[in-house]
Structures are given as C-alpha cells and as structure tokens.
Amino acid sequence: MIESPLLIVAPPGAHASRLAAMLGQHSQSQDLPELSLFMAKTVGGLGEISALSDGTTTHGLRRAIAAVHFGSQQDAAIADAERWLARRSDWQGSMVLSEFVQRLAPKTLVSADTALGWRPDFLDRLLDELPDVRLLHLIEHPRRWCRETATALEGRLFVAPDYKDYAVAPPAVDPQLAWLRVHSNIADVGQWLPDAQYRLLNVEALLARPDATLAELCQWLGWSAAESEINAMQRPEFSAFAGLGPSSALYGADESFLADPGFVRRLRSTDSLQGALEWRPEVAGFAPEVLSLAERYRYR
C-alpha cells in the first residue's frame, strides 16, 4: 500500500524543516527538502519563478531529485536533476510529487512546505491535483515567531512585501501580517479536511514534551510509536538533507535548520499576546485579527 504524502505547512522559520527531518528518521518514512512544487502550474513555470528571484526556489527540488533518482547530492547529480526537470517542464507539481511517492514506497514521503500558505491558489492547486495529501499545520506563538523573523530580516537590502505594513509611510517591516496571512490561508483549507488528513501542531508542544507529541503524531499517521522510533526522530541531524548542499544547490530548507540541524529538548519562555511589539515599539500591540486567530489556537 502506498501512503499519501505528508506536507508540513507553516511560514518560513517556524521549524517545519526540522520537524520534517525528525519525522523522516522514523523507519516508516523518508524526508525530502522543500520542493515548492505548487507555486506554479508546471515545472517549467516554477523554474521561471526561481530564475526571476534569487534562484534558490528550486534548490530543494534539485537536491531531492539528485538524491532519489541519481544517488548523490554532488554537483554532477544536481546537473542531472536539472536535465531531468527540463525534460518534464510541462509536468504538474503533483506529477513530480507522485513520482517521489512511488520511488520511496513503502515509506511515507515527508516534506516541509513554507510556500503553500502564502497564496490560497497554491493550496487549491495542491488539493485539486492531490486530494488525498495530508497536511500537518505547524503554528508558533505570534510574538516569538515575529520577533525571530524581524531579527532575521534586519539589515537585508531586500525584504519581501509580504512582511511590510504599507499603511504607514515609509512601509514598516511587521511580520505579524505574514503570520496572519499564512496561518489564515492554511486554516481556511484545514477546516474542510477530515481529521485523518489535517492536523494542527503547536511548536511549543513539540519543544516542551517531544516524546508525547511525537508519539501522538505517530498514532495519527498510523506509524509505530516504539521507544526506539521516538528516540530516532529526535535526531534530525541524521537526515541526508540536514546541512548545506553543493554549490549549485545550497539550500532547500530553513537556513536556521541547515546551520544547526539538531533538536534540543527545552522549555521556551512564555510569551504574551499583550503589550507593545518589540520590532515596532511605536505600535501598542497586535492587530485585532492576529489576536483573534492566536486566541483561537489557545495562545494568551
């Protein structure tokens, strides 16, 4: 039996890559880097998007093809992967994902996707083409995610418009807008999916009680929750993609994960929804829409 793929959906920097690598250490699964296959209608369209940006959009996809189809992540295999994609420029993203699923069977394909939540049409395309795909929605307290994202954006010459508040002049960097957008889009889709296909997971639960949280995920996925499996899943650094790739495809995952792929058991300080925003001290607090969604997920 071939299992439906599992995509971990979240905004960038929300530990999706780390969790994918953790789940990929289970004997019944295989993790891949971010594939970003549903940002365009075809593989060729995705290549055009990558060429118009910084070129990193397809790094994970090329690393995955190189590893799965050509047995290596060296530059030569990356070049083979590029030719493989060029011959399939008219393929839909679902066709590439299904090809991976077939090659990895009977193991379940697990991959992070931090692009899906940005646009409703990305999610619609995914579910239209792969209606049985499983989504694990990873969410983190907005203050913590926004604070860490704002720090990561400091000093950058270019900051994507999705992270800016254009209601003020000049536009101000305010990650709460991105947090709201991504999680609202995913939640809008998740509410219509059956429990077996969609699950919400708070990052804080994973960090505070990893054994129990991973066991619950195994139960949801129908995997063994043996102690050896739970222990293995807490070693994401053993993933074949836990680190930078070759010069022709360096990334394919969250940069903080690539720099430090290990998982540390730790309790995080409690953040509050109340009070001024550290990245925009002139603002009294979160927007009402952000507060409403955060409270829905039991953040205080």
| 87-98 pLDDT tens trace | 999 999 999 999
Q: What is the DSSP string of 271-284?
A: P-S-S-BTTBTTS-
pLDDT confidence tier of residue 32, bands split at 50, 70 and 90: very high
What integer pLDDT is reported at residue 268 of this predicted model? 65
Mean pLDDT of 154-180: 90
In SS3 terms, 38-73 reads as: CCCCCHHHHHHHHHHCCCCCCHHHHHHHHHHHHCCC
In SS3 terms, 15-29 reads as: CHHHHHHHHCCCCCE
What integer pLDDT is reported at residue 267 of this predicted model? 57
Residue type, 18: R
Edge to edge, the sheet with strand 198-202 lists: 29-32, 108-113, 6-9, 134-139, 198-202
pLDDT in tens, 7-31: 999 999 889 999 999 999 999 999 9
User: What's the predicted TM-score (pTM) here?
Assistant: 0.95
Distance CA 252, CA 255 (A): 9
Distance CA 71, CA 103 (A): 12
